Homo-oligomer: A and B are copies of this chain.
Amino acid sequence: MSLNPEITFQTAPEQYRHWKLQIYGAVAKLSMDVQEDETLADGYKLKLNSYDLGVDIELADAVQRIRFEHPEVRAVVITSLKPRIFCAGANIYMLGSSSHAFKVNFCKFTNETRCAIEDDSKRSGRRYIAALNGTASGGGYELAIACDEIYLVDDGNSAVSLPEVPLLGVLPGTGGLTRLVDKRKVRRDRADVFSTLAEGLKGKRAKEWGLIDDYFPTSKFQESVDARVKKIVEAESPSVSGIKLTPLQVESNDNSRNYRYVKLQLHREQRYADLTIHGPQGPQPATPEEIQELGAAYWPLQAYRELDDALLHMRVNEPLIGLVCVRTEGDVENVLAVDDTLAVNRDHWLVREIVLHMARVLRRLDLTAKSFFAIVEPGSCFAGNLLELLLACDRSYMLKDSETGEASLAVSELNAGALPMSNGLTRLQSRYLAEPDKLEEVLGDRKRFDTDEAEKLGLVTFAPDDLDWEDEIRLAIEERTSLSPDALTGMEASLRFAGPETMDTKIYGRLTAWQNWIFQSANAVGEKGALTN
């Protein structure tokens, strides 16, 4: 895969090329109409509503915008504007012409988009309806099973299918296999048959096997789906109005990428990057009304949107960066004050969405296949929500006994459950699996910790003093970037997620890992591999 042109993750409905987002009161209609020539790269056409990363970036944006810009929406109908075809899944010519790293990052992003749909459903109560007006195959059906309900047209032809194994020799790796047996609880022998049946199953049997919720003849399809949607939105929906997700401003040159609160400095030769997040500055809104007034410029929303964009940028546009050194700059008290406001007002729809967004971005970091080191120096503000960054890092270094002042960490209400990892644990719970007493101590009355305390409590990995600081950080960076990035990815995927597993961690850990392997197998990418031809 060529590193140019750079892929951008920012878009907006008026720029969509493949999706149409329409809002009808409490109902959003999200229609797929992929333009086959509007691809992210050359060499393939997006026929039959098949998709590349560009298509999914628009879908992810649409789901995000519904949450922030159209909170009045209670049901989202996902359908297609193409006759007889809902979606043919990821474009195989695109996959065939992509590098391994790009394939993996493409799948990860599409997985995150589907998990974001489920996050909206589970945590914000919006109901997602897949209205399959035609065949949904592969990633098309995987998109459908990320929805809450699936309705298929019964036109004698349309089917749902996962043809990856029989036709391509790869897995339905965007959660397909996992959601079949774990979410829809399809019997495993039936899941086996379905996943090896290229042509898939049509209405009656698909319903009997639990692959869809219902099917309707062509003539009644629209009205039946409408009736179901109507029933969902019947309950009085609160009259709320959204905020506008304004475009992020970013200044970038060859080695840096600067947003308002997030700065990225790339050291490509040394294979690492410095990622600095600036805390909130100046007066902050204190009430939901003031937050709504400020909208997308409110620090927790803007900073985390910027962080999200920076992470995605590094994943697909900077494959050679193996290590990210995470730093923060700002006032600990300011971060804690924002967290207080968020915690106090978390029942307000916008505050809830802001916190859920922060949680998703932090999970994106957990799932990024690069190493992360947190670097804590005087003037940093690893407090509350920003402490999660440190806890998400693979290790952390905190300066001790500095002549330039004392660094400190601090805990807020948000560290106690509002920002869960994919496995359902908080990052503090995950850190203290062996020492629940320390978890209580850290979450107790005492909220601010200097280097000695942080070290004693196990909040940081190493605490070198002024004399050793620079050498130790430099050596740690050199050592890390000298190791095999693949081995580090596998290691981090294992060490980051101790404790329980969820459907999400099964998708990102088990299913994705198998797909990684299969993406390198001769049957997939060898001379005669299905993705090669």
Interface-lining segment among A8-16, A238-246, A249-257, A477-485 = A477-485
Asked if A496 is at the interface (CB within 8 A of a chain B CB), the reply is: yes
Contact of A486 among B432, B461, B492, B523 (CB under 8 A): B523
Q: B496, A188: Cβ atoms under 8 Å? A: yes
Tell me which of A210, A483, A517, A523 has the highest count of chain B C-beta atoms within 10 A of its own C-beta.
A517
| Cα-based distance from A487 to B170 in the complex (angstroms) | 5
Asked if A66 is at the interface (CB within 8 A of a chain B CB), the reply is: no
Contact of A518 among B195, B433, B486 (CB under 8 A): B486
Contact A165/B493 with A210-B434, A516-B513 known, Cβ cut-off 8 Å: no
Interface-lining segment among A260-268, A282-290, A291-299, A503-511 = A503-511
Q: A487, B169: Cβ atoms under 8 Å? A: yes
Q: Note all chain B residues with C-beta closer than 8 A to A518.
A: 484, 486-487, 490
Q: B195, A491: Cβ atoms under 8 Å? A: yes
Residues of A contacting B: mostly:
helix
Q: Note all chain B residues with C-beta closer than 8 A to A515.
A: 490
| Cα-based distance from A516 to B185 in the complex (angstroms) | 27
> Contact string, A459-499, partner B, CB cutoff 8 A, digits 1/0?
01100000000000000000110011111111111111111
Asked if A223 is at the interface (CB within 8 A of a chain B CB), the reply is: no
Q: B192, A495: Cβ atoms under 8 Å? A: yes
Q: A188, B396: Cβ atoms under 8 Å? A: no
Q: A523, B484: Cβ atoms under 8 Å? A: yes
Interface-lining segment among A49-57, A120-128, A132-140, A176-184 = A176-184
* Chain A residues numbered 172-222 whose CB sits less than 8 Å from any CB in chain B: 177-178, 180-182, 184-193, 195-196, 210
Contact A524/B189 with A517-B516, A517-B517 known, Cβ cut-off 8 Å: no
Q: Note all chain B residues with C-beta closer than 8 A to A500.
A: 501
Q: Note all chain B residues with C-beta closer than 8 A to A495.
A: 177, 180-181, 188, 191-192, 195
Contact of A165 among B185, B431, B488 (CB under 8 A): B488
Smallest distance from the beta carbon of A528 to chain B beta carbons, Å? 11
Q: B181, A498: Cβ atoms under 8 Å? A: yes
Asked if A395 is at the interface (CB within 8 A of a chain B CB), the reply is: yes
Asked if A458 is at the interface (CB within 8 A of a chain B CB), the reply is: yes
Interchain residue pairs with CB less than 8 A apart (22): A165-B487, A165-B491, A169-B486, A171-B487, A171-B490, A171-B491, A181-B495, A184-B434, A185-B434, A187-B458, A188-B430, A188-B431, A188-B495, A189-B393, A192-B394, A192-B495, A196-B480, A196-B491, A484-B524, A500-B501, A506-B509, A510-B510
Which residues from chain A sit less than 8 Å from chain B, CB to CB? 164-166, 168-171, 177-178, 180-182, 184-193, 195-196, 210, 393-396, 430-434, 458, 460-461, 479-480, 483-501, 505-506, 509-511, 513-518, 520-521, 523-524, 530
Known: A486-B518, A501-B506. 5 other contacts (CB 8 A): A192-B395, A486-B524, A501-B505, A509-B513, A513-B513
